[in-house]
Structure 1
Amino acid sequence: MVMIKRIGIYMITLLLVLPAAAQDKTLKLWYNAPAGKVWEAALPVGNGRLAAMVYGNPATETLQLNEATLWSGSPNRNDNPDALAALPEIRKLIFDGQYKEASKMAAQSIQSKKNNGMKYQTAGELQLDFAGHDQYTDYYRELNLETAIAKTTYKVNGTTFSREVFASTPGQVIVVRLSATTPGSITFRASFHSAHKPAISVSGNDELKLSGISSDKENVPGKVKFQSLVKFRNEGGKVTASGDAISVTGANTVTLYISMATNYVNYQDITADEGKRAADYLSKALTQNYQQLRSAHIAAYQKYFNRVHLDLGTTDSVKNPTDIRLRDFAQANDPQLVALYFQFGRYLLISASQPGGQPATLQGLWNNKMDPPWGSKYTININTEMNYWPAEETNLPEMHMPLVQMVKELSVTGRETARVMYGAGGWVAHHNTDLWRITGPVDGIYSAMWPMGGAWLSRHLWEKYLYNGDKKYLQSVYPALKGAAQFYLDFLIPEPTHQWLVVSPSMSPENAPQAHPGISISAGATMDNQLVFDLFSNTIHAAEILHTDQELIAKLKASRSKLPPMQIGQYSQLQEWLQDLDNPEDKHRHVSHLFGLYPANQISPYRTPELFDAARTSLIQRGDISTGWSMGWKVNLWARLLDGNHAWQLIKNQLTPTGKNHGKENSGGGTYPNLFDAHPPFQIDGNFGCTAGITEMLLQSHDGAIDLLPALPDDWKSGSISGLRARGGFEIVNMQWEDGKLSKVTIRSALGGNCRLRVPNALQGEGLKGATDANSNPFFQPETTPRPLINEKAKLTAPALKATLLYDLATQAGKTYTFTR
Structure 2
Amino acid sequence: MNTKLWYRQPAESFREALPLGNGSMGAMVYGKVPAEEVLLNLDTFWSGTGTGEEKVVPREGLRQVRELVFGGNYKAAQEYLEKDMLGHYNESYMPFGILKITYSDVESYKNYMRMLDLKTAVVTTGFQTEDNEYRNEMFLSYPDQVLAVRITSAVRKNLNLRISLSSRIRYVLNAEEEGCLIMTGNAPSHVEPNYVKIEDPITYGDPGPGMAFCGYLRVRIQGGTLSFGQDGIKVEGASAAELYFTAADGYEGYKKPVDEAAKHCVEKCDKRLRQVFSRTYLELRTRHIEDYRSVYKDTEFDLGEPEQAVPTDVRLQNLKNGAEDKGLYCLYFHYGRYLMVSSSRTGSQPANLQGIWSDSLRPAWSSNWTTNINIEMNYWPAGMCNLMECYEPLVKLVEELSDAGRRTAQSQCRCRGWAANHNVDLWRQTDPVDGLAKYAYWPMGGVWLSGQIYDYYKYTQDVQYLRTHIYPAMRGAALFCLDWLIPGEDGRYHTCPSTSPENVFLDDADQPCSVSYSSTLDIALIRELFKNFIDASEKLQTEDEIVSQVRERLAHLPEYQIGKYGQLQEWILDFEEADPGHRHFSPLFAFHPGTTIHKYDDPKLVDACRAFIQRRLEYGGGVIGWSCAWLINLYARLCDGENALQYLRQLLKASTYENLFDFHPPLGEGDGEYETFQIDGNLGGISGIANMLLQSHLGVIELLPALPAEWEHGSVRRLLAERGVSVDITWRDGRVLTADFISDIAQEIDVIYPCLNEPVRISLKKKERYYLAPEY
TM-score bucket (shorter structure): over 0.9
Moved over 4 A (4+): 218-222, 582-585
- From 673, 687, 690, give the equivalent of 2:658: 673
Q: Identify which range, 126-135 or 174-183, moves more after superposition.
A: 126-135
Work out the CA distance in 1 between the residues paired with 2:435 and 2:58.
15
- From 477, 481, 494, give the equivalent of 2:474: 481
- From 575, 580, 591, give the equivalent of 1:581: 575
- From 63, 71, 76, give the equivalent of 2:51: 76
| TM-fit CA distance, 1:98 | 1.4
Given the superposition, is the C-alpha separation of residues 453 and 33 from structure 1 closer, same or farther in structure 2, using an over 3 Å criterion? same
1:593-638 per-residue CA deviation (whole Å, 9 max, x = no partner) reads 0111111112212222111111001111111641111111111011
1:779-813 per-residue CA deviation (whole Å, 9 max, x = no partner) reads xxxxxxxxxxxxxxxxxxxxxxxxx4311123333
Partner in structure 2 of residue 251 of structure 1 = 238
Partner in structure 1 of residue 151 of structure 2 = 178
Partner in structure 2 of residue 651 of structure 1 = 648
Partner in structure 1 of residue 563 of structure 2 = 569
Partner in structure 2 of residue 716 of structure 1 = 711
Partner in structure 2 of residue 228 of structure 1 = 215
- Indicate yes or no: 2:274 matched with 1:274: no
Given the superposition, is the C-alpha separation of residues 520 and 724 from structure 1 closer, same or farther in structure 2, using an over 3 Å criterion? same
3-state DSSP of counterpart to 2:376: helix
| TM-fit CA distance, 1:221 | 4.6
Kept in 1, the 8 Å contact 2:171–2:185? The answer is: yes
Work out the CA distance in 2 between the residues paired with 1:522 and 1:640.
29
Partner in structure 1 of residue 547 of structure 2 = 553
Partner in structure 1 of residue 29 of structure 2 = 54
In structure 1, runs of 5+ residues without a counterpart are: 1-24, 662-669, 763-803
Kept in 2, the 8 Å contact 1:78–1:439? The answer is: no
Work out the CA distance in 2 between the residues paired with 1:163 and 1:286.
19
Partner in structure 2 of residue 704 of structure 1 = 699
- From 506, 509, 512, give the equivalent of 2:501: 509
Work out the CA distance in 2 between the residues paired with 1:436 and 1:118.
8
Kept in 1, the 8 Å contact 2:381–2:687? The answer is: yes
Work out the CA distance in 2 between the residues paired with 1:352 and 1:728.
25
Kept in 1, the 8 Å contact 2:527–2:596? The answer is: no
| TM-fit CA distance, 1:77 | 4.5
Q: Identify which range, 321-330 or 271-280, moves more after superposition.
A: 271-280
Partner in structure 1 of residue 18 of structure 2 = 43
3-state DSSP of counterpart to 1:142: strand
Partner in structure 2 of residue 13 of structure 1 = none
Work out the CA distance in 2 between the residues paired with 1:156 and 1:209.
32
- Indicate yes or no: 2:113 matched with 1:118: no
Work out the CA distance in 1 between the residues paired with 2:533 and 2:644.
32
Work out the CA distance in 2 between the residues paired with 1:425 and 1:499.
23
3-state DSSP of counterpart to 2:454: helix
Given the superposition, is the C-alpha separation of residues 589 and 221 from structure 1 closer, same or farther in structure 2, using an over 3 Å criterion? farther
Work out the CA distance in 1 between the residues paired with 2:55 and 2:513.
21
Work out the CA distance in 2 between the residues paired with 1:76 and 1:141.
44
| TM-fit CA distance, 1:95 | 1.4
- From 60, 65, 73, give the equivalent of 2:40: 65
| TM-fit CA distance, 1:222 | 4.8
1:24-61 per-residue CA deviation (whole Å, 9 max, x = no partner) reads x721110101102x111000001011111000001110
3-state DSSP of counterpart to 1:319: coil
Given the superposition, is the C-alpha separation of residues 227 and 35 from structure 1 closer, same or farther in structure 2, using an over 3 Å criterion? same
Q: Identify which range, 640-649 or 602-611, moves more after superposition.
A: 602-611
Kept in 2, the 8 Å contact 1:72–1:222? The answer is: no
- Indicate yes or no: 2:514 matched with 1:520: yes
Work out the CA distance in 1 between the residues paired with 2:254 and 2:49.
8
- Indicate yes or no: 2:2 matched with 1:31: no
Partner in structure 1 of residue 765 of structure 2 = 812
- TM-score computed with the length of structure 1 as normaliser: 0.88
Partner in structure 2 of residue 726 of structure 1 = 721
3-state DSSP of counterpart to 1:483: helix
Partner in structure 2 of residue 188 of structure 1 = 161
Given the superposition, is the C-alpha separation of residues 807 and 511 from structure 1 closer, same or farther in structure 2, using an over 3 Å criterion? same
Work out the CA distance in 2 between the residues paired with 1:812 and 1:83.
58
Kept in 2, the 8 Å contact 1:200–1:244? The answer is: no
- From 63, 75, 80, give the equivalent of 1:88: 63
Partner in structure 2 of residue 102 of structure 1 = 77
| TM-fit CA distance, 1:562 | 1.6
3-state DSSP of counterpart to 2:401: helix
Amino acid paired to 2:3: L
Given the superposition, is the C-alpha separation of residues 458 and 96 from structure 1 closer, same or farther in structure 2, using an over 3 Å criterion? same
Length, aligned pairs only = 738
| TM-fit CA distance, 1:463 | 1.4
Work out the CA distance in 1 between the residues paired with 2:22 and 2:723.
30
Amino acid paired to 1:552: I
Given the superposition, is the C-alpha separation of residues 594 and 83 from structure 1 closer, same or farther in structure 2, using an over 3 Å criterion? farther
Amino acid paired to 2:474: L
Amino acid paired to 1:505: P
| TM-fit CA distance, 1:151 | 0.7
Work out the CA distance in 1 between the residues paired with 2:107 and 2:450.
53
Kept in 2, the 8 Å contact 1:262–1:274? The answer is: yes
Map 1:757-796; keep pairs closer than 5 Å: 757-761=751-755
- Indicate yes or no: 2:587 matched with 1:596: no
Partner in structure 1 of residue 110 of structure 2 = 137
3-state DSSP of counterpart to 1:248: strand
1:66-116 per-residue CA deviation (whole Å, 9 max, x = no partner) reads 01110000123542202533000001111112122111111122101xx31
Amino acid paired to 2:657: Y
Partner in structure 2 of residue 786 of structure 1 = none
Work out the CA distance in 1 between the residues paired with 2:159 and 2:274.
25
3-state DSSP of counterpart to 2:499: coil
| TM-fit CA distance, 1:287 | 0.9
- Indicate yes or no: 2:745 matched with 1:755: no
Kept in 2, the 8 Å contact 1:315–1:335? The answer is: no
Partner in structure 2 of residue 626 of structure 1 = 623
Given the superposition, is the C-alpha separation of residues 521 and 78 from structure 1 closer, same or farther in structure 2, using an over 3 Å criterion? farther
Work out the CA distance in 1 between the residues paired with 2:476 and 2:107.
60
Work out the CA distance in 1 between the residues paired with 2:594 and 2:154.
56
Work out the CA distance in 2 between the residues paired with 1:352 and 1:302.
15
Q: Among the aligned pairs, what percent are the same residue? A: 38
| TM-fit CA distance, 1:168 | 0.4
State the superposition RMSD in angstroms. 1.6
Partner in structure 2 of residue 491 of structure 1 = 484
In structure 2, runs of 5+ residues without a counterpart are: 193-205, 666-675
| TM-fit CA distance, 1:582 | 4.4
Given the superposition, is the C-alpha separation of residues 584 and 637 from structure 1 closer, same or farther in structure 2, using an over 3 Å criterion? farther
- Indicate yes or no: 2:291 matched with 1:300: yes
Work out the CA distance in 2 between the residues paired with 1:260 and 1:338.
35
Amino acid paired to 1:198: Y
- TM-score computed with the length of structure 2 as normaliser: 0.93
Kept in 2, the 8 Å contact 1:76–1:438? The answer is: no
Partner in structure 2 of residue 344 of structure 1 = 335
- Indicate yes or no: 2:533 matched with 1:539: yes
Kept in 2, the 8 Å contact 1:80–1:109? The answer is: no
Work out the CA distance in 1 between the residues paired with 2:511 and 2:22.
44
- Indicate yes or no: 2:439 matched with 1:453: no
3-state DSSP of counterpart to 2:590: coil
- From 451, 457, 462, give the equivalent of 1:465: 457
Map 1:425-444; keep pairs closer than 5 Å: 425-444=416-435
Work out the CA distance in 2 between the residues paired with 1:521 and 1:220.
36
Given the superposition, is the C-alpha separation of residues 505 and 83 from structure 1 closer, same or farther in structure 2, using an over 3 Å criterion? farther
Amino acid paired to 2:227: T
